[in-house]
Amino acid sequence: MTSSYWDYVARRFGIMMLVVFLAVSINFALPRLMPGDPIENQLNQLMASGGGAMGDVGAMVASYRARFGLDQSILTQYLAYWQSVFSLDLGYSLTNYPERVGDAILAGLPWTLGLLGFATLVSFTIGTLLGGLMGWPRSPRFLKTFGSGVLLLSSVPYFLIGMILLYLFAVVFRIFPAGGGMPFGMSAGFNFETFRAIAWHATLPLLSIIIAEIGAWAIGMRGMMVSVLGEDYIALADAKGLKPKRIFLRYGMRNALLPQMTKLAMALGHIVSGAILVEVIFSYPGIGFRLYQAIQSKDYFVIQGIVLLLSVSIAVAMFILDLIYPLIDPRIAKGK
């Protein structure tokens, strides 16, 4: 690798570190900038609403006071906060007291990763193909009309599409379940039944993300396809008398695909924060739904933990992707 690659890597690494630093600092600073004592406030509210187990409140206050170290200097607190982040000790849930924030996140993560990973890959495949065909002059007309409809749909936020799907297919026609990740009370096992139940429950949330995302992939691909088709080598291939299908696949699609791959990598990086609201609409047990519940019950440490996870995971994912791009497309490292 050339030195320009390492300069680029160093720069990207610096950005990642800055993002992590900022995310942790914001997490530390925000509750302290607000008037009042966040823990006191939260717990009082909790007491007033009668939530949580009463006996634990005293222990909780003490534990949080110790964690916040509110009597110590701000610098000590800040360093202590960093230490707790590094040791992945994110505290306890306020509403489900003995539950640790880390465990709450771990419980939700597989659901979110599965749902969004699958939805992203499917919508990428369909959208890219659709976009390629839309940019190809020999495509049938109905395809372009259909494509324009899909493009319009993609401008609508995905959770709105989810609400309509939920109403149609779970309330009016009771085909799919209205929420949850699998049937209530079912114990998960590594067998076909479990797999089927999970797929059944995931269908509507998957569909709403896929419908909303296809258009975005198609737009990008169509644009690239149109500009690729303007290149000289396409004219040459045409003059050589190559079959249109071959020109479309080997010369057109193949060259237009690179920017799409870059975007796919980026989308995979954003996967965790992607569809918080879809999970909310379908009560899907991922971390998006957990975040929503935490916001509902003002479960501050869970909110904080999930936000931290989102920021750090994206920063790390982006860095890994930045490392890979120049290997695929050498122009990137040279250009920046």
Partner 1 sequence: MGRLSFFASELTGNKTLFFGLSLMLMICLLAVLGPLFVDFANSRVGATIPRSPPTMEHWFGTDGQGRDMFTVMILAMPQTLRIGLTSGLISLSVGVALGLIAGFVGGWVDTVIRLASDVMMTIPGIAILVLVAANVREMTVELMAVIVATLSWMVAARTIRAQTLSLRERGYVQVARLNGTSGLKLVFVEVLPNLLPFIAASFVITVSNAMLATVGLEALGLGPQNELTLGMTIYWAQFYGAIIRGMWWWWGPPILAIATIFVGLMLTSAGMDSFVNKRLGASS
Chain residues in the site for partner 1 (CB under 8 A) = 14-16, 18-19, 22-23, 26-27, 30-31, 33-35, 38, 151-152, 154-157, 159-160, 163-164, 166-167, 170-172, 178, 270, 273, 276-277, 280-281, 291-292, 295-296, 298, 300, 303-304, 306-307, 310-311, 314-315, 318
Burial code (b: 16+ CB inside 10 Å, e: under 16) for 277-288 equals bbbbbbbbbbbb
DSSP 35: S
The residue (of 170 and 207) whose beta carbon lies closer to partner 1 is: 170
Task: Give least dist CB 72 to partner 1, A.
Answer: 21
| Tokens found for residue 266 | 């980026």
> What are the Cα distances from residue 200, in Å, to 42, 52, 203, 281, 302?
38, 34, 5, 16, 29
The residue (of 68 and 248) whose beta carbon lies closer to partner 1 is: 68
d(CA 226, CA 132): 9
The DSSP result for 193-259, as a single string, is HHHHHHHHHHHHHHHHHHHHHHHHHHHHHHHHHHHHHTSHHHHHHHHTT--HHHIIIIIIIHHHHHH
Task: Give least dist CB 12 to partner 1, A.
Answer: 9
The residue (of 248 and 326) whose beta carbon lies closer to partner 1 is: 326
Task: Give least dist CB 10 to partner 1, A.
Answer: 13
The residue (of 23 and 253) whose beta carbon lies closer to partner 1 is: 23
Task: Give least dist CB 49 to partner 1, A.
Answer: 16
The residue (of 121 and 153) whose beta carbon lies closer to partner 1 is: 153
| Number of residues that this document lists for the chain | 336
Reduced to 3 states, what is the DSSP secondary structure of residue 185? coil
Contacts of 300 (CB under 8 A, 6+ apart): 31, 38, 39, 42, 94, 294
The residue (of 67 and 270) whose beta carbon lies closer to partner 1 is: 270
Task: Give least dist CB 301 to partner 1, A.
Answer: 11
d(CA 334, CA 336): 6
Task: Give least dist CB 330 to partner 1, A.
Answer: 21
The residue (of 237 and 294) whose beta carbon lies closer to partner 1 is: 294
Task: Give least dist CB 294 to partner 1, A.
Answer: 8
